Structure 1
Amino acid sequence: MTINQLLSDLNENQRKAACMPRQHALILAGAGTGKTKTIVSRAAYLISNGTPAHRIQILAFTRRSASEIVERVRMHLGEEAQGLKASTFHTWCISLIRKAPKVFGCKGYSVIDRDDQLQLYKVLRGKAQKSELPSAQEICDLYSFARNTVQSLNATLQKKSPECLHNIKKISEVMLAYEKRKKERHYLDYDDILDVVAQQMTVSEKTRIWVSSQYDHLLVDEMQDTNPLQWKLINPLKENVTLFCVGDDAQSIYGFRGADFQNVHSFASRVDNSITLKLQDNYRSTQEILNASNWLLSQSALSYGKNLTAMRGSGKKPELHTFINEWEEGRWIAEEIFNNKQMGEDWKNNMVLVRSGYAGRVIEGALLAKDIPYQFIGGTKLLESAHIRDLLSVLRIVGNQQDEIAWMRFLTLWNGVGEVTANKLIERILFLDGYDQVIKLLKDSDKLPLSAADAVGAVIKNQNNVSDALLDSFQVLEEILAEKYKKQEWDKRRRDIQLVRKLAEKHTSILGFIEEYLLDPVHVTQIDRKENDDVVTVITIHSAKGTECERCYVINVSPGSYPSSFSIGKEDEIEEERRVLYVALTRAKDELFVTRRGYSLWAEDKSKVDDNAESENYFLNALPEGLFNEIIHRHKLWNVDNDAPDVTEHVDVGINIGNIPPDPQEEEAEESNASDWNHMVDNREAFWLSELRCADGYLHRSNSQSKSHKDSAGIAEELDGDKMVKKKLQIERNKQMENHSGIKIESCSAYYDTKKNVCVFGELIAENKSPVNEYKEVQLVVYDSDGELMAREYTNWTEFGLMQSFDFNVDLSDFEMEPSRIKVYPTNG
């Protein structure tokens, strides 16, 4: 396709943006309005009109977005676009640092990630009580937020943790000690990478001229998600480099990381002689879907000035489904997807949008129960996985002998080597001159097997071939890794090694490989799945920007979730929650299904709702009549007459949900209704025990409609060959540990099934209203009726605001006796 053909495919405003003369510009591109197409066209236009491709720098927020833009420009222009560069902010800055390390004072430095930062903060914070110092995680987050927002520690504490202001001196001492340790060990953290370049360009005219002399045009994608530190990077260049910034203030959803959508709102006042263009013609969705998202923004106190128009015209009205609970919600979605497949639809035409990895577990369980193939995007990224970090530790220590964090991880892999022994070895290693001496020390140590030295030697031998270095070191480490992860699906984890090798194939520098993928980690699905793979996509909303799908399910749009209960009382956070929902709603092309859960929605007495902050702030209050088709799903459980049929009502109204009683586990029955209510509770318990089963470690409902009976001991029969719950287990909590940590175990349930598995799931609440700190694990201890220990397990929990979630699935098939009770409590390991 020629440049003229490319430009002819644009609408009037897109063409104006792509073909404007050399002038600073902000392009406000609403969802589905062709943002990427406009950036691609702008780059292609500049190159076709004489700008050398290497004089254009494109900045995006993910490697995937950057690569897509470059590939599309090259597809149109061929060889003419070969020099075009696109990267993330961090990758761009690290490339500048590597070009001139002395200019930025970073010669010989290596990059550490967030987990490495946290480990350093844990050491430097020490064992101070929570009353003396915030947790290591909190200090780490405050430090990063202050740097990304270019604020003082005092201002950051006032905004994020005012309760910690009285400890500002001690907090600052820990942060300064952290910076000193980084300098001693030649570390650069994520914030350093941006800050060192921004600072040098601000204070040094020579540096500013050197950087700006490399470019004529800077094209910035997702401008609304830039933070003040990133603006500090861009701002010095505008004297000599033309800025072309594209963004949508209604999709700014990274405020918790310091993103400031004022970088969009204030662009005209900050950048002299700039122009602003709006793109509002939507090519993705039908007008009915856009009506819902337009209405959501119109309810904001902020003036977004957006009213997207569908170029595709009219289509199906979005549906709003209300369910009793998450299990019914997940089961219905899986059945809908399955039924559509039976009618000839592809799996890949379905996308389920969730708030977090944890929030998607019930959906995953429901899909597994129906044998529906799916990919999950947005959870732990490949190089953040524990087993991959273990393997990479040996590469990191060869890349930087001073990397004590990597040394600690590598040395403690070996049986019999704890932190004390590892620290003694590290103290000696840091002062050795070269790797010949390091190898000798490892071989001579009576604490380590010879294979420890062999693993390091394998990497040294292949320093210029990262893929081979990974293969050879893994062959040495495989046995010890298999033992460490034998209870954590080692066969699946082992397969990840091949994916990492695939990433490393093009790299001849260990540090270059580690830096690239630490700065922008990839999900397994980004490597392992092909574009034409026919699978359902389950994706977190924060990972979904730029994606689209024919049929989208946005789950749990309930009070307490939209906005999150943790944002109540904070107007800026409530608005960001609104934008998160806006992003989710605007992913759908043809059909949009919004679901919510009845037990968390409304009390029967509307007067109770008026006093409920979550309900008062609920985004779907006062829905205009006819905006959604509302469907209410009532399960027969909620009728006292258990023979009554399920009821599904299709009505064209607003928020009227009807008389769904609250979940009896969440609401106590009123005394006047005690007898009827207890009857419902008994029915509900029988229903749960008959339909709960374990699949891949998760508890979820069975599709079986068989009835079950339970005796006075609470034992359910096994029916239809399902893996049924046999009994509920008594749970004991360690109150002393909870009081010490400030973390309370909540909503914990434990079941023993007929396949001799103990399944436990629950939540933890941080009492001090702050993210959970160094207590990163939950310990589970299982006892039999004689009080004998049967199992002891640890698991990390999944972070979700101030509420943390965890689960266990413990195989007790080797024991004849049944478990009688369990203990569950937070631990710092």
Structure 2
Amino acid sequence: MQIDYKSELNAAQYDAVMHDEGPLLVIAGAGSGKTRTVVYRLARLVEQGVAPESILLLTFTRKAAGEMLFRAGGLLGYGLGGVSGGTFHSFAYGVLKRHHLLLGFERGFSITDRSDCTQLVADAKSNLGLGKGDRSFPKKDTVLDILSKSRNKEANVGTIIQNEAFHLLPYVEDMERMAVEYARLKKESCLLDYDDLLFELERLLRDEPDVAVSLRSRFSHIMVDEYQDTNRVQARIVKLLTGGRGNVMAVGDDAQSIYAFRGAVVANILDFPSEFPGAKIVRLERNYRSTQEVLDLANAVLANAQRKFEKRLYTEHTGGAMPEVVKTLSDQSQSRLVLEKIIELNKRYEMHEIAVLFRAGYQSYSLEVQLNKLGIAFQKFGGIKFTEAAHVKDALAFMRVQINPADSVAWKRVLGHIKGVGPKTADKIVQAAISGDGKALGRFTKRFAELMPMLEFLNQLRMDNPKPEASLGRIIEFYTPLLMAAYPDDYPRRQQGLEQLESISAQYSECDQFLAEINLDNPMEDAEEIRKNALVLSTIHSAKGLEWDAVLILDLVEERFPGRRAMQRPEDMEEERRLMYVAATRARKFLGMYVPESLYVRHLERSEPVRPSPFVLELPPLTYVEYKEGYGGRLQRPVQAQIDKPSGAGSMNAVSSASSGNSSESGGSGKDKAPVRLGFCHHKIYGRGKVLEYIPPDKYRVNFTGFGLKVIIGQYLEME
């Protein structure tokens, strides 16, 4: 019985599945049935007579390949064991194993795992005599990560460190030497690591034309999933396997390319039509996940992308809740309001169907405290709970000693940062400190030069007994050199977490109360129960591919989302925009976005005003409802936001006109109606800006680059 493709697929999916010969690019918008399209394409190829052995399916996980082959086999009624399906790396290994002699491995080669690689890095360091007596020298895992990034991004070690780990710049020359020695040790032992597999496959296909021709004749159809996540060498391998033409199907979404830090290159999917001339492009735009109200906002996020495949997500799920933009007075009140929203949403949705997303792991710290206070279970992805972070435990240990000099556990954690003090010595020092044995302490201070300054600091801290915020400020100042020595590889990231901890402490007047609530955890014994009943906290990167009924996004302000460094580089800013799109499209029914008006700044010991994220400022007013926190802590809708939702505002046409510059009308009274010039404009002082809203009778709300939102009388604007 043949599969009825036409009735089981939408028009775009059917178009992709029924494509006959030549290159095919499927731009699969979020939630548009990408996997379904690949599965039916596989089934159709086999059904029309293509031998399974002639199909190569390349995915990013073995699980994904296995699922696709299983589902395609279910459609056909028999297995597709003959299809070569798997990851780029597993495919590379199989090819290299058969042709190892051509690569110079006369007796074959072995694949190293992570532990083998770190050992080789350690051997390279030892052979070169590097890092002796230098506690700040990068750890072998960090060196390995940088060497891997250097390979995947095809950039030298110095460039990687300059862009991503500037605090390690003093060690650039050492790590460049280690990279050379690491490669030599692998070659000497006939070893290949994970990254080598791809580059050796490329070398084989490029330098041995007979092998390339043989593989091209074997695989008449090549399918590549998640093409937006490929790196440069993977894209070159695909081209070498096809000869730049042939039956290659690439599936992906340029708008969901968010893994540049791993080496993914969005240009691979954007350049596919030029790399494979004559390629057919099919856009999957019908979304099966979210309401139209959520999709309208997601479409608006992409409207200002510099380079993209044009697409507009739509769905039959209409009449949902409008997305909310909530402007809070501070990052602290943001946590309270998010918690209130979670409790409200839990009346409609199961707790595990609610997710709070953020750009970086430390941004959920304040919310975690609030959740612990109420005993609300949560699971966190893409960053550990802040009470489990080593640097947070270190800082809190100082405060624990401050309020309880008999806390031996905290004493040992603090003393562990003194060079030469091991567990047994720490026990003796703790006993002497707690019992007040000055003679014994004197002997230890002579042995360990760092001990006396620490004891003096702790003694002064106990005597002064400052409030939590002041205490943490002093602790962080004292602890920072220890932090840099203990965690040299990533201390800048950890410092951000400590600053967030200090900000949280400002809400408390007593240190013991602060410590008690910080450590109030309510773990559920049954892990399965946690998964079923717990709120989800996740970084956006970890949330890709997942979905929830309700999604709340934190810290939509400049230098947090987008991050500080991203705002300095156009290509990074574009990736941040795609990250925002991914976050928005995780929501099925409700989307909430939180914009603090101030953030706590540790070195100033106060909150400072911040600008909203440009991704929020660019949103057309018809795509969301705005709420603002008043000084009484209550939410209210600003006057300019209290506009009745026009008929069809949730439809594609309304948002299209608002974001593309077409004429529209305001939501005011009949006498105020006037053409709304939504597009770009120029101002003599502020320069070029984007018109976001018409305010009757003669004003416009404009977002100016570098100056933010301004309300300007129309006669002072020159419209483009």
Q: Indicate yes or no: 2:305 matched with 1:305.
A: no
Question: Tell me, what secondary structure is at the counterpart of 2:78?
Answer: helix
Contact 2:297 2:619 in 1 (8 A): no
Contact 1:293 1:586 in 2 (8 A): yes
Structure with more helix by fraction: 2
In structure 2, the residue matched to 1:647 is 634
Aligned residues: 494
Shift of 1:21: 0.3
Shift of 1:236: 0.8
Q: Which moved more, 1:206-215 or 1:27-36?
A: 206-215
In structure 2, the residue matched to 1:578 is 577
The amino acid that maps onto 1:587 is: R
Structure 1: 5+ residue stretches without partners? 387-417, 419-526, 603-607, 640-644, 657-829
Contact 1:317 1:627 in 2 (8 A): yes
The amino acid that maps onto 1:355 is: R
Q: Distance in 1 between matches of 2:320 and 2:242?
A: 44
Q: Distance in 1 between matches of 2:326 and 2:533?
A: 26
Aligned mate of 1:633, from 614, 629, 642: 629
Contact 2:557 2:596 in 1 (8 A): yes
**Residues 566 and 162 of structure 1: CA distance in aligned 2, closer, same or farther (over 3 Å):** closer
Question: Tell me, what secondary structure is at the counterpart of 1:28?
Answer: strand
Q: Distance in 2 between matches of 1:582 and 1:79?
A: 39
Shift of 1:544: 2.2
The amino acid that maps onto 2:566 is: S
* Greater relative contact order (CA < 8 Å, ≥ 6 in sequence): 2
In structure 2, the residue matched to 1:270 is 275
Shift of 1:533: 3.9
Shift of 1:253: 0.9
Q: Indicate yes or no: 2:31 matched with 1:32.
A: yes
Trace 1:708-747 onto structure 2 (pairs within 5 A).
Answer: none
**Residues 137 and 373 of structure 1: CA distance in aligned 2, closer, same or farther (over 3 Å):** closer
Q: Indicate yes or no: 2:534 matched with 1:562.
A: no
Q: Distance in 2 between matches of 1:601 and 1:310?
A: 41
Q: Distance in 2 between matches of 1:338 and 1:75?
A: 42
Contact 1:319 1:631 in 2 (8 A): yes
Shift of 1:622: 4.6
In structure 2, the residue matched to 1:65 is 64
Contact 1:288 1:315 in 2 (8 A): yes
Q: Distance in 2 between matches of 1:127 and 1:30?
A: 49
C-alpha deviations, 1:542-569, integer Å up to 9, x for none? 1222222211112222221121012222
Q: Distance in 2 between matches of 1:591 and 1:9?
A: 28
**Residues 83 and 347 of structure 1: CA distance in aligned 2, closer, same or farther (over 3 Å):** farther
The amino acid that maps onto 1:243 is: V
Question: Tell me, what secondary structure is at the counterpart of 1:21?
Answer: coil
Trace 1:804-815 onto structure 2 (pairs within 5 A).
Answer: none
Q: Distance in 1 between matches of 2:70 and 2:530?
A: 15
In structure 2, the residue matched to 1:280 is 285
The amino acid that maps onto 1:630 is: E
Question: Tell me, what secondary structure is at the counterpart of 1:282?
Answer: coil
Question: Tell me, what secondary structure is at the counterpart of 2:32?
Answer: coil
Q: Distance in 2 between matches of 1:44 and 1:528?
A: 38
Q: Distance in 2 between matches of 1:655 and 1:257?
A: 44
In structure 2, the residue matched to 1:12 is 11
Question: Tell me, what secondary structure is at the counterpart of 1:126?
Answer: coil
**Residues 212 and 532 of structure 1: CA distance in aligned 2, closer, same or farther (over 3 Å):** farther
TM-score, with normalisation over the residues of structure 2?
0.60
In structure 2, the residue matched to 1:175 is 179
The amino acid that maps onto 1:298 is: A
Q: Distance in 1 between matches of 2:341 and 2:535?
A: 12
**Residues 356 and 154 of structure 1: CA distance in aligned 2, closer, same or farther (over 3 Å):** closer
Aligned mate of 1:252, from 236, 250, 257: 257
In structure 2, the residue matched to 1:195 is 199
Aligned mate of 1:222, from 216, 223, 226: 226
TM-score, with normalisation over the residues of structure 1?
0.53
Shift of 1:98: 4.5
Q: Distance in 2 between matches of 1:125 and 1:356?
A: 37
Q: Indicate yes or no: 2:111 matched with 1:110.
A: yes
**Residues 158 and 370 of structure 1: CA distance in aligned 2, closer, same or farther (over 3 Å):** closer
**Residues 556 and 3 of structure 1: CA distance in aligned 2, closer, same or farther (over 3 Å):** farther
Shift of 1:38: 1.2
In structure 1, the residue matched to 2:668 is none
Q: Distance in 1 between matches of 2:529 and 2:121?
A: 35
Contact 2:377 2:530 in 1 (8 A): no
Q: Distance in 1 between matches of 2:21 and 2:529?
A: 39
Question: Tell me, what secondary structure is at the counterpart of 2:212?
Answer: helix
Q: Distance in 2 between matches of 1:550 and 1:253?
A: 22
**Residues 199 and 133 of structure 1: CA distance in aligned 2, closer, same or farther (over 3 Å):** farther
Q: Distance in 1 between matches of 2:570 and 2:178?
A: 31
Q: Distance in 1 between matches of 2:302 and 2:296?
A: 10
Question: Tell me, what secondary structure is at the counterpart of 2:544?
Answer: coil
**Residues 167 and 532 of structure 1: CA distance in aligned 2, closer, same or farther (over 3 Å):** closer
Contact 1:629 1:651 in 2 (8 A): no
Q: Distance in 2 between matches of 1:547 and 1:138?
A: 29
**Residues 305 and 74 of structure 1: CA distance in aligned 2, closer, same or farther (over 3 Å):** same
Q: Distance in 2 between matches of 1:284 and 1:50?
A: 34
Identity score, percent: 28
The amino acid that maps onto 2:302 is: L
Trace 1:365-384 onto structure 2 (pairs within 5 A).
Answer: 365-379=369-383
In structure 2, the residue matched to 1:663 is none
**Residues 625 and 168 of structure 1: CA distance in aligned 2, closer, same or farther (over 3 Å):** closer
C-alpha deviations, 1:100-158, integer Å up to 9, x for none? 5545538341323397276566555712899x999977765554344324456788789
Contact 1:25 1:243 in 2 (8 A): yes
Shift of 1:298: 1.5
**Residues 71 and 623 of structure 1: CA distance in aligned 2, closer, same or farther (over 3 Å):** same
Aligned Cα RMSD in Å? Answer: 4.1
Contact 1:13 1:279 in 2 (8 A): yes
Q: Distance in 2 between matches of 1:165 and 1:23?
A: 48
Shift of 1:649: 0.9
Shift of 1:584: 0.5
Question: Tell me, what secondary structure is at the counterpart of 2:588?
Answer: strand
Q: Which moved more, 1:570-579 or 1:312-321?
A: 312-321
Q: Distance in 2 between matches of 1:366 and 1:214?
A: 59
Q: Indicate yes or no: 2:88 matched with 1:89.
A: yes
Q: Distance in 1 between matches of 2:374 and 2:46?
A: 51
Q: Which moved more, 1:558-567 or 1:323-332?
A: 323-332
Q: Distance in 1 between matches of 2:546 and 2:567?
A: 29
Shift of 1:89: 2.0
Contact 2:56 2:222 in 1 (8 A): yes
Q: Distance in 1 between matches of 2:613 and 2:629?
A: 24
In structure 1, the residue matched to 2:353 is 349
Shift of 1:307: 2.4
Q: Distance in 1 between matches of 2:203 and 2:612?
A: 45
Q: Distance in 1 between matches of 2:314 and 2:215?
A: 41
The amino acid that maps onto 2:616 is: L
Shift of 1:25: 0.8
Q: Which moved more, 1:31-40 or 1:170-179?
A: 170-179
